[in-house]
């Protein structure tokens, strides 16, 4: 299928946008080697069900099981680098079109790529919080203890267990972040959904909020999503290939390589 007309249409929708917001999911980070936790293809399902070992209840009752499961993934997160999709979105922000990224990903690759206004609705792996005294520490301080000595990470102040600042299944989403995400969805005139299956509420509701407020929705995802029938444009392709091409088309049409005036 020739997707060039679709890419051209996407570039035009972005070019005419007053307030572009992007919602990203696992499909943006899988090209960087980050596994998709909800995909059977990732291999994570073969050894343990993430819905069980990565739930808040499981962490409270059997924290060792959680840390044994996530230990191999921590090094993947630490070593991952932004791929062309992350870099293209950072470029869109630098050019002045992109106002905010709402991400379900916890790997901070958007920030590593250069994006500044990133709303992390599922938390992040940069810090951990003590479950006893609530002291917050950088996760990089946990690496020798957790990765090299294979010990459960504990607080240096009180000895309590350190929980990474990621949202586990059954845990409330961060209040400020989800409110910011809803605000962005309600005020944007174009929302680009990239690499998300939109299968987990309440994040899955955001494109519908945008659409209800008159925004046009662009979907770039390998698989169908619930918003497809209401989207202005649906592109079934790899985001790491499509997003840089859309940015290139935008540059060609506008000559803009740096920050666009508001």
Say how many C-beta atoms besides its own lie within 10 A of residue 120's C-beta: 25
What pLDDT is stored for residue 259 in this prediction?
Answer: 43
Residue 69: domain span: 35-79+130-166
Higher pLDDT, 259 or 226: 226
pLDDT at residue number 257: 56
Q: Are strands 190-194 and 123-130 parallel, antiparallel or unpaired?
A: unpaired
Residues 117 and 214 in one domain: yes
pLDDT at residue number 48: 65
Choice between 140 and 160, residue whose per-residue pLDDT is larger: 160
What is the spatial distance between Cα 61 and Cα 50, in angstroms, rounded to a whole number? 15
Active site annotation includes 122: yes
Residues 23 and 91 grouped into a single domain: yes
**pLDDT of res. 128:** 92
- Does the N-terminal peptide bond of residue 153 adopt cis geometry, omega within 30 degrees of 0? no
CATH code assigned at 147: 3.30.1600.10
What is the number of domains present in the chain?
2
**Mean pLDDT, range 200-219, rounded to an integer:** 96
Q: What is the pLDDT of residue 210?
A: 98
Catalytic residue among 19, 122, 124, 183: 122
Does position 159 have pLDDT exceeding 80, yes or no? yes
Same structural domain, 112 and 69: no
What is the distance between the alpha carbons of residues 173 and 120, in angstroms, rounded to a whole number? Answer: 10
More confident residue, 255 or 137: 137
Q: Is the pLDDT of residue 21 over 60?
A: yes
Q: Is the pLDDT of residue 43 over 60?
A: no
Q: Are 162 and 251 members of one domain?
A: no
Q: How far, in Å, CA of 253 to CA of 15, rounded?
A: 9
Percent of the chain with pLDDT over 70: 92
- Average pLDDT in the 92-103 region? 95
Same domain, residue pair 70 and 155? yes
Same domain, 10 and 68: no
Looking at the structure, do residues 73 and 185 belong to the same domain, yes or no? no
pLDDT in tens, 53-83: 888 988 999 998 888 888 888 788 888 999 9
Angle at 85 between CA 205 and CA 255, to 5 degrees: 105
- Regarding whether 210 and 135 lie in a shared domain, the answer is no
Listing DSSP states for 197-217 in one string gives: ---STTGGGHHHHHHHTT-EE
Query: What is the pLDDT at residue 47?
Result: 60
Both 52 and 180 in one domain: the answer is: no
User: Number of H helices and number of E strands within the chain?
Assistant: 12, 9
Tell me, what CATH number does 242's domain have?
Answer: 3.40.50.1220
Highest mean pLDDT among 139-148, 174-183, 252-261: 174-183
Query: Looking at the structure, do residues 236 and 179 belong to the same domain, yes or no?
Result: yes
- In this structure, the answer to whether residues 86 and 68 fall within a common structural domain is no
Torsion angles phi and psi, residue 81, rounded to 5: -125, 155
CA-closest candidate to residue 230, choices 209, 254, 255: 209
> Helix H segments across 84-203?
84-95, 109-113, 143, 175-187
Over 90: is that where the pLDDT of 84 sits? Answer: yes
Joined together, the tokens standing for residue 191 give 């929302």
The confidence score (pLDDT) of residue 38 equals 58
- Taking the whole predicted model, whether its pTM rises above 0.75 is answered as yes
Residues 251 and 209 in one domain: yes
pLDDT tier at 148 (50, 70, 90 boundaries)?
Answer: confident
- Alpha-helical runs (H) found in 118-238: 143, 175-187, 206-212
pLDDT of residue 10: 97
Position 125 scores a pLDDT of: 86
């Amino acid at each position: 299928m020739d997707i060039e007309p679709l890419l051209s249409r996407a570039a035009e929708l972005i070019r005419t946008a007053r307030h572009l917001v992007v919602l990203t999911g696992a499909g943006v980070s899988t090209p960087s080697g980050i596994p998709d936790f909800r995909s059977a293809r990732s291999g994570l399902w073969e050894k343990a069900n993430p819905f069980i070992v990565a739930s808040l209840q499981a962490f409270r009752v059997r924290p060792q099981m959680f840390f044994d499961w996530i230990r191999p993934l921590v090094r993947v997160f630490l070593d991952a680098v932004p791929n062309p999709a992350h870099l293209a979105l950072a470029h869109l922000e630098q050019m002045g079109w992109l106002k905010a990224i709402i991400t379900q990903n916890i790997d901070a690759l958007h920030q590593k790529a250069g994006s500044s206004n990133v709303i992390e609705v599922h938390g992040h792996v940069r810090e951990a919080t003590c479950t006893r005294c609530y002291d917050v520490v950088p996760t990089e301080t946990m690496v020798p203890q957790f990765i090299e000595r294979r010990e459960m990470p504990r607080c240096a102040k009180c000895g309590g267990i350190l929980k990474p600042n990621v949202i586990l299944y059954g845990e409330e989403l961060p209040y400020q972040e989800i409110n910011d995400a809803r605000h962005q969805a309600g005020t944007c005139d174009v929302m680009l959904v990239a690499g998300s299956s939109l299968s987990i509420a309440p994040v899955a509701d955001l494109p519908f909020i945008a659409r209800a407020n008159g925004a046009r929705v662009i979907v770039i995802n390998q698989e169908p999503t619930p918003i497809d029938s209401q989207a202005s444009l649906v592109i079934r392709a790899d985001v790491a290939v499509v997003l840089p091409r859309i940015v290139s088309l935008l540059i060609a049409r506008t000559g803009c390589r740096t920050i666009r005036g508001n």
